[in-house]
Amino acid sequence: MAVRPAAGLHGELVPGGTRDQGGRSRTRRLDRRLATRDGDTLLDLAGNDYLGLTDHAEVILGATTAARAYGGGAGASRLISGILPVHDQLKDALAELLGASSALVFSTGYHANLGAVTALGGADILIVSDAHIHASLNDAARLSGAQVAVAGHSDATEVERMLGARSQPRAMIVVESIYSVLGDAAPLKLDEIARRPRTGAHRKPWAVPGQRRHPR
């Protein structure tokens, strides 16, 4: 979570909206802003800037440099002509970091979850998902065409039971590494369960973990 010098945890409602040329308000709404109090520190539990990179000098420099070089946007979707050199540079850098032959970059975390789960899913798969996974993962599971079973939050025993009772030849466990609402981590036992060979008619692992080569 980002820790920001700010003014406490109380909010302030201020008038918002657009104004015409005469300064008259055309639409009325209220914007919620954090009010400032000197000397206080704010722990931001509502944003997604977990590492505090929004205000990092190198991030700001990279953004301004890219804007000067390429303008304010790609000008089109990636499907048509919206691929810029910086996109390829990012993919190459990520592939090198992970020791992979290539990498795929999505524009949002929602699209990344949607793409990964739907690509791995299918009618012959059982998806066992944690009750607290993000809405994007729930959407992805439904769109994947797989049967979905929801286990209690971080309940490894229930996950193991659901996998053992399934009829599908393959299965996928869908959890989050760190749950954004509660801040807790998925139990490491789930990795052991996913790798364990199944007894019975289908003697395949319950889930096939992705292979990753770490850089030396």
Residue 212 counted as domain residue: no
113-118: list long-range contacts, CB under 8 Å, 24+ apart: 113/137, 113/140, 114/139, 114/140, 114/143, 115/140, 116/140, 117/141, 117/143, 117/144, 117/172, 117/174, 118/143, 118/144
* Pair (26, 84) in one structural domain: no
Domain of 139, in residue numbers: 109-195
Are residues 117 and 190 located together in one domain of the fold? yes
Q: Is residue 104 in some structural domain?
A: no
Mean per-residue pLDDT of the chain: 79
Is the domain of 94 the same as that of 122?
no
Residue 117: left if φ>0, alpha if ψ -120 to 50, beta else—which one? alpha
Same domain, 157 and 113: yes
Number of residues in the chain: 216
Same domain, 133 and 187: yes
- Asked, for residue 154, whether it belongs to a domain, the answer is yes
51, with CB counted inside 10 A (0-12, 13-18, 19+), is exposed
Query: Stretch 34-44: mean pLDDT, rounded?
Result: 62
Please indicate, yes or no, whether residues 85 and 158 belong to a single structural domain of this protein.
no
Q: What does the pLDDT read at residue 107?
A: 86
The whole-model pTM stands at 0.68
In a domain, 216, yes or no: no
> Do residue 35 and residue 6 come from a single domain?
yes
Could you tell me if 113 and 94 lie in one domain?
no
Number of structural domains in the chain: 3
Using alpha carbons only, what angle is made at residue 102 by residues 101 and 105, rounded to the nearest 5 degrees?
160
More confident residue, 187 or 24: 187
pLDDT tens digits, residue range 3-12? 454 433 344 4
Residue 159 CB neighbours (<10 A)? 25
Are residues 121 and 94 part of one domain? no
**Token reading at 43:** 């722990």
CATH code of the domain containing 157? 3.40.640.10
